[in-house]
Structure 1
Amino acid sequence: MSFFLALMCMVPLSFMKKSFWLNQYLYFVLTFLYCFFFSFNFQFSNITFFLGSDLLSFMMVLLSFWICSLMILASSKIFIYGYYYNMFLLMVIVLLLSLFMTFSSLNLFIFYVFFEVSLIPTLILIVGWGYQPERLQAGVYLLFYTLFASLPMMVSIFYYYSISNSLDYFYISNFDSSIYMYMCMNMVFFIKIPMYFVHLWLPKAHVEAPVSGSMILAGVMLKLGGYGLMRFMVLFLSLGLKLNYVFIVISMVGGVFVSFMCLRQIDMKSLIAYSSVSHMGMVLGGIMTLNYWGLCGSLVMMIAHGLCSSGLFCLANIVYERTGSRSFFLNKGLINLMPIMSLWWFLFSCCNMAAPPSLNLLGEIMLINSLISWSSWVMLTIMFLSFFSAAYSLYLYSYSQHGKMYSGLYSFSGGYIREYLLLFLHWLPLNFLILKSEFVVLWV
């Protein structure tokens, strides 16, 4: 509750003149202070009023704080050119408030309310600070995909309340539910994660969003789906054993299809967005196996993907600001212009293909363990997924950094210190959190 009040007190600060960087410093301070509330296990601690945290919600809130502070660091253009930066800061703080409440709530209905509220500031970020006229269509896709499944979820929450007389997580347990209840409750999470077949809103939203919108979408918003499934799959244990194989097959085969689609993208952001669908498909598969490896692996993979994908979107934006284009056909030979930036492209591409010592590697190993122990047939899709993950990561790196430079897009800028700091702050936790992997295995 103390953090909720601290965030509320930051709302008026966003209206102060020239307070852009002060806001960003305070986000870092809050991130540092939140580390003292670390929760080692799957028992809720730090309970105040209707809020509390266990390891899962702690990691998700910490990721939200971190990504939101880096969002502001990446969006200095909004401040420099005066594109309503006070309104932008307000949207970031409202978004962070809703994410904090979503991940920290101990009640199913409060979770639902803030889960839906987080959609609004994201929509305003895309429509307000997006780059092209198509952002309106992307906003409509984002809104209606989520709202389509949101009302059935609310009805199923009321129905569950009429049966159990409580919506507290503490009392949530398996009950004899129908397939309708299962679909109504989980469909909103499938769309958010996003599962193949209901993923079309994601590439559209990413391509039209500003860098901050892409960062929060990839870094935290997709994780809402995974968090919700991990938290509420306990309601459907007996039904899940019969039904979950459908969603595992869809997410794994869909991941392979999306990997093929990545190889024929001509837009940097679009490629990174589709790779998110592929990675989160593995997370969904891991959660659906209903075993311990899958749960731990999904948590690790969500944190790793949040940092890696967000960093790649930052890199794509740095190129876009220099050249005015995200097309692979125009952005070639960038290693000649900004060789130091090419190192960062290489490092994040390596993380994206789960090369050691990144956190992605740990997550993929745990998820592969989980999925193969569930069924050895999944090896077929995992084989393709791992190979094509490396293939499109190398395609992204080699196509943009090597080749003959297009002479019309020349920039003498070697990159700002702010940009290198931004990339370093993505890369450092991504590669050093693997040293603290024992915390995830303690999650019982």
Structure 2
Amino acid sequence: MPWDLSAWLQLAGTPYQSLPALLSSLGVGLLIGVERERKHHALAGIRTFPLVCLLGTLLAMLTSTLGSAWLLAAGLLAIAGLGFLPVGARSGDDANEPRTTTVIALLIAYTLGAMIGLGNTELAVALGVITTGLLYLKPELSSFTHRLARHDLLSLLQFAALTFIILPLLPNQGFGPYAAFNPHRVWLLVVLIVGVGLAGYMAVRMLGEKVGAPLLGFMGGLVSTTATSLVYAREAASNPGSQQLATRVILLANMVLFLRLQLLTVAIAPRAAFGMLLIMLPGMALGLLTIFISSRRGQARDGAPELELKNPAQLSIALGFAALFAVVMLCSAWLKDLFGDSGLYMVALVSGINDVDAISLTVMELFSKQLLPLHPLLITVAIAVLTNTVFKFGLIFSIGGRTLALRCLPTFIMAMIGMLGGLWFAALL
């Protein structure tokens, strides 16, 4: 529930009950105005923006009181008219600053003030921060835009089409034997694989390899460790200079998997959280320790070839992997039909190849409904993680090559030893 400053100050029913809204409006206007003042514009700066925002708030309040919607429209036209006023001489960087930017910023400030006057204060403040960020980061955004080649923009358009045009059109229901083929779910995997590769390409371009790799590993672990492993194994195979980057991203993503499963347990089956922690924490701890030791040893090695970024054009590989995913889904449904609930471990063994979350969420829901004891839950999740790790190692070896696979193998082994050791310890309790 949002914090009500008016109630805290006991302003309700007093002449000052609108004071919090007016102060919020001034604050948003000042935030944008400070950034514009740095441009030394004669059109609008640190005084004009707060006044324009305050005008929007006052007119919105009058509109609510008088019921005359024309007041807000008249105010908007008046602010737009400021764009026709003459502007003083500019110098330095300001000579390249389009005047339309300040005019649009004034219109946004007025609109944000109106939103505050109509009661949408939290959203208006958030949009004010975003607006100021866009204005302030012009050099960085312009520099990044100029570095994008034509095929980069085509990749962005391709990803947008895959995500926002094709994906919503696909039916989210099962077809075929056992209703195992779900077009929406299969295409979502295509979107994830393409999206992970594209996000990694953009992040390394913007942040550099040292900053980008930990961020990519963390985000990849939250989204899909399988897709992340596939994308960066392919990158390592096509670009020898990306071996170190690919190794760090893949290993960090697979360590984040343990954290993700722990968070899912806390959210869905909190009573199983401690038991899950006993198997997730040792696996993640030993894996991170191995990554740390390997990275320290790697510092003494000869320098790797320089990283050369290439835009990841991996739609064909994503489609092929999605087809494999659909086949595994069918096999999982077939085994479940053969063995029923008693074959839960067999289902975990097969379904864990392509998706740890699906079987994990299933057993967590069964546990929360008291239909499954804790220890079978832990065993099922451990089998799924183990199977998924073996499958990902096979992907890395077959696509990324022997060198990348050997870089990843010690961390995978130690993480699985830690997880299985935790499972053994949990069975003793």
The answer to whether the superposition gives a TM-score over 0.5 is no
Instruction: Report the structure number with the largest CA radius of gyration.
Output: 2
